[in-house]
Chain A
Amino acid sequence: MQTDFDLFQAILDFVQNLDPEVYDAAFSYAAAMVLLVGLIALSRWQKIGITEKLIIGTARGTIQIILMALILLEIFALENLVLIFGLLIFMALFAAHTSRSNLDDIPGVFRAGAPAILVGGLTVMVISVLLGVVKPVGEYIIPMGGMVIGNAMGINSLVMERMWSNAQKQRSLMETALALGATPLQATNMTIRESIRSGLLPNLNRYASLGIVSIPGLMSGMIIGGTPVLAAALYQVIIFVMIFLACIVSGLIASRIFLQEMFNERAQITVPPPEA
């Protein structure tokens, strides 16, 4: 009983000692749930089919980001590169797992996505650190790595989803290519290029309107955190270049590995036709 009382008192103390800004944010979070309800209603009405993912994603995302926030100061203070890149590897694997969860009706998404995000994301981060583009401390590597890995994950999901759905919806065109003696890569190259272009388009738009229409998150965060405005602006351009490189490298790698899920060794399509 005494123990229960102590725990209750500890929680009470923690809540009472919270920064008033946390109360404000919690109120905003609660109010934002109204938007979420609207979003779910819209999704259900238009049969977009993301209701479950929205609800689970909100709950899971909130817990994940709070846990991350609680240890963020410790992570940002990291200077041990092995630990920092170990954390990036975990983030890349988690990104691949997330891709698989969102494309659960397509086989081999993790098998193709994990090596693609690892190689695409981490290679860019390692080269950036070696070139001195990114300071070798957690404060820089972790958030920038997170953006690079997050965008690589988005491209990978798009590439694999498009390749799979095109093999179903445009089967005749793909078969025509194979029937002319095309390799699986030649038969899908157009889809791969189009999906990488589509995946990069939102970021290309932000890149083109940088500073005029969009004030991206990294720059805003750095300015709020006390970084000189000019330095923050330059870092924003740097992160875009890193994101584009990582996206293209990981998209190309994922597409090559994913071909094994779509074709057998006789270059026959193994993707089942779409269900009627």
Chain B
Amino acid sequence: MSSGPILEMKGVSMSYGQRTLFKDFTLDLHRNEIIGISGESGSGKSTLLRIAVDLVTPTEGEIVFQGKDVKDWNPQELRKCIILVPQEASMFPGTVRDNLLWGLKIHDQDASDEELEAIMEEVNLSGEYLDRVAENLSGGEKQRIAIARALLLEPCGLLLDEPTSALDEKSTLAVEKTVKGLLESRDIGVLVVTHNREQAERFTDRVIEVTTGEEVYYNAD
């Protein structure tokens, strides 16, 4: 297995007309690492994650995934290997099971009930949730279902956009526990947008400020 970064963002800048969101942003994401992205509201943190999976093209800069420029990747293949979980954790119509299988079906894959129950356990939810209507779940449960839905595709990178921004403390800790557990159970790298410094220090390895590109926190442990 290569020890190089799975994701490299080199000198990435983003502007909308006259307005510059960030400039010359650089980052390397390795396996078994959680990097936090911090910044003011409207500073382009979410845009940065969209750029990483080629949902948005930056004004300048290069994005390399597993040694290959994202422009040379088939967009569908790229987004199966490194998955963005948007902030809203949107659910497709139907049950939790329908939602978990949605991502697999578009790639002509399937999963057994045992596999679905195992993935639910990994995100700290019981198998009883499988037949519940996804839209009726709480924010924290939806976030974990969205993470489970992504994990079923066995990505090597996971990009989480403010996964706990709308959650209470209990749900926040549950999502954090889930994300930390992923590093132990899977060989993946995680990029997480957060504006909560305390949270960042609690569960990321380092934090990079999006506007300045500076490392504002490093967890030596």
| Interface pairs (26), CB distance under 8 Å | A170-B90, A172-B86, A172-B87, A172-B90, A173-B92, A175-B55, A175-B86, A175-B90, A176-B92, A178-B79, A179-B53, A179-B84, A179-B85, A180-B80, A180-B102, A181-B75, A181-B76, A181-B78, A181-B83, A181-B107, A182-B106, A190-B92, A268-B54, A268-B55, A268-B56, A268-B75
| A-B complex: 5 closest residue pairs judged by Cβ atoms | A181-B80, A180-B103, A179-B84, A173-B90, A267-B75
Q: A175-B86, A176-B86, A190-B93 are in contact. Are A181 and B79 (CB under 8 A)?
A: yes
Q: Is A186 an interface residue (CB 8 A)?
A: yes
Q: Is A183 an interface residue (CB 8 A)?
A: yes
Residue numbers in B under 8 Å from A60 (CB-CB): none
Interface residues on A, range: 10 to 19
Cross-chain contact A181 with B153 (CB below 8 angstroms): yes
Q: Is B88 an interface residue (CB 8 A)?
A: yes
For the complex, what is the distance from the CA of A181 to the CA of B77, rounded to whole Å? 6
State the total of A-B contacts with C-beta under 8 angstroms: 69
| CB nearest to A267 among chain B residues | B75
Q: Is B192 an interface residue (CB 8 A)?
A: no
Cross-chain contact A179 with B83 (CB below 8 angstroms): yes
For the complex, what is the distance from the CA of A170 to the CA of B93, rounded to whole Å? 12
Q: Is A266 an interface residue (CB 8 A)?
A: yes
Cross-chain contact B106 with A180 (CB below 8 angstroms): yes
> Apart from A180-B149, A267-B76, what 7 extra A-B contacts exist at CB < 8 Å?
A176-B146, A179-B79, A181-B79, A266-B54, A266-B71, A268-B54, A268-B55
- A172: contacting residue among B83, B88, B103, B150, CB under 8 A: B88
